Structure 1
Amino acid sequence: MRQRHIFGQVFALETVIASVVFLAVLAVFGYAVLRRRAGRPVDPSQRAERPRLETYYVAVLGAFAVFLVAWTAWQNHREHQSAERPAVRVDVTGFQWCWTFRYPQAAERRSVSGTCRGDDLPTLVVPTGRPVRLNLTARDVIHSLWVPDLRYKMDAFPDHTNTFTLTMNREGRWMGKCAEFCGHRHYAMHFWLKAVSPGEYDTWLHGGGQGAAA
């Protein structure tokens, strides 16, 4: 999945940079401590400023910050590129404490929901190989659509719609959750994301079959 791949790249690079900075600071700190303990007492420096050293320090920090902001923005743009062809539309509504998935492109405006109690979990059915545009909102309080295995999460706000497009490259089923504390049953606000073949999706969407969502 595109989102999972891009997230992996960003996480790996930022982890490497954070590790290098941490080790560099740790090495300088260790050197200063060992040198101070091994040597004779050192008189305090009479210099109040070191402008050249401070300039280098600020320049390095600024370069790291600019790079990380630019890199993250570029990857975010890659992740949310517009689809080259018309997308399958699904309207997602979070509520206390479950989800509703509506398919306005279906002949009878197909809708899937549940109670999120026990095995009564709604299933978000999408086709493989096609861009799927999710229009995400909330009925009451802030929720957050999260599919951990796909490394993707987006908040759902009342009276506001967040939109993102994803494309599933293989069939499968993944557990989704709410990642924003929204009340005492937040822990049980789960759903299934199921990717099926385009043919099976069309049959389910327009024929009213239950197979894809089972």
Structure 2
Amino acid sequence: MRQRHVFGAVFALEAVIAGGVFLVVLAVLAWSLLRRRARTAERSERPRVEAFYVAGLAAFAVFLVAWTAWQNHEEHPAAGPRPLRVDVTGFQWCWDFRYPRSEGHRRVTGTCKGRDMPTLVVPTGRTVQLRLTSRDVIHSLWVPGLRYKTDAFPDHVNTFTLTLDRTGRWRGRCAEFCGQRHWSMDFWIKAVPAEEYEHWAHAGTAPA
């Protein structure tokens, strides 16, 4: 679950830094207010202190940008020579999953009404490349439990990879308001052992 671990590490570090900066600014503000009340108002220039303040902010900014970019690279590794490709199409108001390289070009879709939610089936331990687009308006594929979220645009393909290292099932949904039934635009992503996936992929039109 590389995505979830990377997201957790980035969020934790940036939250700690943001909290520390907030406390420092709050302390300086309180000290300034108390000092102003205790002394007569007079303006004094302290270029050295201001220079240290600006340098500290610049150092934090450079670190955060560089570290976040590096973590983003770790979060989305390059796909291998033959990843499992799945073409994902969002539409009002459900999802269409196609496996163009599987025997019979396996396809899973649904209406997203009640229990009729499509299931994106993937094998564990294998790199999966999702090619995401939209048939009508902007949608967003979001799996909260795995920390995956990518927008789907009409006439454009967004590509990202994922690798799930254990079996399980997670609920996904559309995270971009897309009309009347946006609230019901849910799906499942299911990770199964490689042998079970191969059996499913060659099982014709059997439900997921």
Place the TM-score, normalised by the shorter chain, in its bin.
over 0.9
Shift of 1:34: 2.9
List 4+ stretches of structure 1 deviating above 6 A.
none
Looking at structure 2, the residues matched to 127 and 106 of structure 1 have their Cα atoms a distance apart, in angstroms, of 13
Deviations along 1:28-79, one digit per CA (max 9) or x if unpaired, are 1122223334x2x41322x4x5433332222111111111110110001111
Give the letter for the 1:157 counterpart. F
TM-score where L is the length of structure 2: 0.95
Shift of 1:201: 0.4
State the partner residue of 1:184: 180
TM-score where L is the length of structure 1: 0.92
Match of residue 41, structure 2, among 40, 43, 48: 43
Shift of 1:27: 1.0
Identity %: 67
Please say if residues 106 and 205 of structure 2, whose CA atoms lie closer than 8 Å, have aligned partners that are also in contact.
no
The 3-state SS of whatever aligns with 1:125 is strand
Number of aligned positions between the proteins: 208
Give the letter for the 1:132 counterpart. V
1:135 and 2:131 equivalent? yes
Instruction: Kindly report the root-mean-square deviation, in angstroms, between the aligned alpha carbons of the 2 structures.
Output: 1.4
State the partner residue of 2:112: 116
Shift of 1:159: 0.6
Matches within 5 A, 1:30-179: 30-37=30-37, 39=38, 41-45=39-43, 47=44, 49-179=45-175
Match of residue 195, structure 1, among 191, 194, 197: 191
State the partner residue of 1:18: 18
Shift of 1:85: 4.5
The 3-state SS of whatever aligns with 2:27 is helix
Give the letter for the 1:17 counterpart. I
Deviations along 1:1-34, one digit per CA (max 9) or x if unpaired, are 0100100010010001001000101111122223
The 3-state SS of whatever aligns with 1:89 is strand
Structure 1 regions of 5+ residues with no counterpart? none
Structure 2 regions of 5+ residues with no counterpart? none
